[in-house]
């Protein structure tokens, strides 16, 4: 797999469109950091990490999706910005807003993975991984 983050976002996008309660994916530290941000921003209910067992070389990340009281999706769109073939970086003054502030951009910076608003507040720029709205 050349882009595991794009795979994670596609799994979440497909599961929310099909109204699944949860989605499983292979585990990595970056995916866990993205899931932490999605949970803190209120896009998902939570996540669970299962360690590798038996012949499984890698653990699993289970993301519990969130829906509104009448079943409406909380994540209406999720988009990969920086890809392995085209990296997208922004400086601390150029971090873009997503849907005029209604969405969230997730960046990887020298201080770790954080939202665009946190990066502006911390005065750092970085690579934009994805946008969520």
44 touches 38 (CB < 8 A): yes
d(CA 5, CA 15): 15
Structure token digits, residue 37 = 């941000």
Q: What is the pLDDT of residue 57?
A: 82
pTM: 0.93
d(CA 34, CA 39): 9
Domain of 32, in residue numbers: 4-65
Q: Is residue 118 part of a domain?
A: yes
Placement of tokens 């939570």 in the chain: 46
H or E segment and range at residue 78: strand 78-80
Q: What is the pLDDT of residue 69?
A: 95
User: How confident is the chain (133 residues) per 10-residue block, as mean pLDDT?
Assistant: 95 97 96 98 96 84 96 95 96 91 95 96 96 96
Q: What is the pLDDT of residue 124?
A: 96
Q: Residue 93 maps to which CATH number?
A: 3.30.1490.10
Quick one: 82 and 51 in the same domain?
A: no
Quick one: 82 and 52 in the same domain?
A: no
Q: What is the pLDDT of residue 8?
A: 98
d(CA 43, CA 65): 8
């Amino acid at each position: 797999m050349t882009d595991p983050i794009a795979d994670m976002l596609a799994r979440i996008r497909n599961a929310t469109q099909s109204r699944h309660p949860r989605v499983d994916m292979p585990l990595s530290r970056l995916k866990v950091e993205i899931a932490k941000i999605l949970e803190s921003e209120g896009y998902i209910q939570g996540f669970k990490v299962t360690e590798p067992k038996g012949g499984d070389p890698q653990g699993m990340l289970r993301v519990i999706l969130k829906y509104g009281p009448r079943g409406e999706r909380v994540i209406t769109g999720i988009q990969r910005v920086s890809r392995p073939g085209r990296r997208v970086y922004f400086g601390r003054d150029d971090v873009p807003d997503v849907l005029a502030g209604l969405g969230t951009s997730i960046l990887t910076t020298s201080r770790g993975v954080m939202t665009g608003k946190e990066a502006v507040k911390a005065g750092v720029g970085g690579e934009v991984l994805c946008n969520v709205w």
